Structure 1
Amino acid sequence: MWLWRELPRIDELPNGSQLQSDGKLKFSDNFFEIFAIPQAWVVDLNGLNIRYRALQQEFHPDKYSTKSQIDQRLAVQMTSLINQAFETLKCPLKRAQYLLELSNINTDQETHITTDGNFLMQQIELREGLQDIFNHKEPWEMLERMRREIEDIYLNLQDSFQENYQKGSLDDALNITAKMQFFSKLLIEVENVEAELEDI
C-alpha cells in the first residue's frame, strides 16, 4: 500500500501542531494533488521538478527545528511523503502502477501475463542476447543495439498504457504495466552489463 494512505490528515493533527503549508497540501492528498497536477498519465516533468524543489524547501525539517516535537515529526513525515510522491510520478512504471491503484486495481500480481507465449519468448531472447554480449567481437556495439531495442519497446508499452488507461480499459492497462515492469528490469540488466564491460 502507498504511504499516503497511512499518514494522518493535516486537518486531523494532534492539538498543539503548528505545521503550516500553502493551505492546500494535506497528508491525505494523493501524489498528483501534492504536486498540484492533473491525475493523468502525461506529466510535465519540468513542472514536477520545480514543484518538488518548492515543497522540499517549504517542509525541510530544519525549518521546524525550533517547533514542537509534533511539528518536527510531521515535517519529517511530510518530507518523506513528498519524496515518495516525486519518485513515483517521475518514473513511468511507478506512475502507471500508481494510477491503477488509485482506480483500486491491484498491480502486485504478474501471473496474468504468464500465458503470453510471444512475450515470454521475447524476454528469453533478450536476456540471452545480453549474456551473449560478452562473447561478441563488438560487445559495445551489440550492447547499444540491444539498449535501443529495449528502450523502444518500453516506450511503445508506455504509449499503449496511455491509450488503454485513457479509454478506461484498465485490465489491458494492468497487463501492459506488468510488461513494463519486465522491461524496466531489462534496462537495469543493460546497465549491469555495461558496468561489467567497463571492468573487463
Structure 2
Amino acid sequence: MSQYFDLFNLPATFALDTTTLDARYRAVAAQCHPDKFAARSAFEQKQAMMMSTTVNEAYRTLKDPLNRAAYLLQAQGIEADAPEHTQFAPAFLMQQMDWRETLAEARAAADEAALNNLAAEIHDAQTALYRQLDTAFANNTPAEAAALVREGRFLNKLQQEIQAALP
C-alpha cells in the first residue's frame, strides 16, 4: 500500500522531505491536469479527472504528518483512527484537561494573549509529537505510532478551536 509514495517516486517512510514531495506533486499534477485532456475523448477526460483526484488526495495525505503516519500504519493493517481506539496515556489525559480548561477560561475572558500562548504551547507539543512519531516509525513500534496519531488528532482539533476563538 505504498501507492501514494510510488505515485511521487518517494520511499514509504514517515521521515519525508516535503520540499521534494512538493516538487514531485507539481510535476505529476501538471502531467495529468484535466485541461491537458480537453480535446481528448470523454473516456480520456474522465481518466485524467480520476488521476488528478488521486494525485491531489495522495499529496494531501503525504503532506500532513498525521495523515502520512495513519496511511503508513494502514499499510500494516493498523487503523489508528478507528473509533474503538479511545484510550490515552494518563499523563496525556491530564495535560488535555489542563489545555481544555485554559482554552475555556481564555475564551470566556476573550483573552487574546492567553489564546496565543496556548496556541504556541500546542504548536510546540505538535512539533515534539512529530519527532516522537519519527522515532516510533524508525524503531518499528507501530502501536506507539498509532497512539501518537490519536494524540496528534486531539492536538490538531484543539489548535483549530483556539484559532476559531481568536478575534
Q: What's the TM-score, normalizing by structure 2?
A: 0.91
Instruction: Report the Cα distance in structure 2 between the residues aligned to 1:32 and 1:145, rounded to whole angstroms.
Output: 36
Match of 1:80 in 2: 53
* Separation in 1, partners of 2:88, 2:10: 37
**Which of 122, 129, 138 is matched with 1:166 structurally?**
138
5 Å matches for 1:10-29? none
110-119 vs 93-102, which deviates more? 110-119
Query: Which structure 2 residues correspond to residues 150-165 of structure 1 after superposition, within 5 A?
Result: 150-165=122-137
Higher helix share: 2
Whether the aligned pair in 2 keeps the contact of 1:41 and 1:96 (CA below 8 Å) is yes
> d(CA) in 1 for partners of 2:9 and 2:84?
35
The 2-side partners of 1:173 and 1:134 are apart by 32
Cα distance change on mapping 1:34 and 1:159 into 2, 3 Å: same
How many residues are paired up? 167
Instruction: Give the root-mean-square deviation of aligned CA atoms.
Output: 1.8
Q: Deviation of residue 52 (structure 1)? A: 1.5
- AA at the equivalent of 1:167: N
Q: Percent identity?
A: 30
Of structures 1 and 2, the one with the larger relative CO (CA 8 A, separation 6+) is 2
Distance in structure 1 (CA, Å) of the matches to 2:107 and 2:146: 35
Q: Which digits, 9 at most, give the CA deviation of each residue in 1:82-125, with x for residues without a partner? A: 00011111111111111111222112325445253322222122
Look at both structures and tell me which one has the larger radius of gyration over its CA atoms. Answer: 1
Q: Which residue of 2 aligns with 1:123?
A: 96
What is the match of residue 117 of structure 2? Answer: 145
Whether contact under 8 Å (2:32, 2:52) holds in the other structure is yes
Contact 1:113/1:175 (<8 A) preserved: no
Instruction: String of CA shifts for 1:40-74, please: whole Å, max 9, x gaps.
Output: 11221122111112122111111112212221111
In structure 1, the gaps of 5 or more residues are: 6-28
Match of residue 106 from structure 2: 133
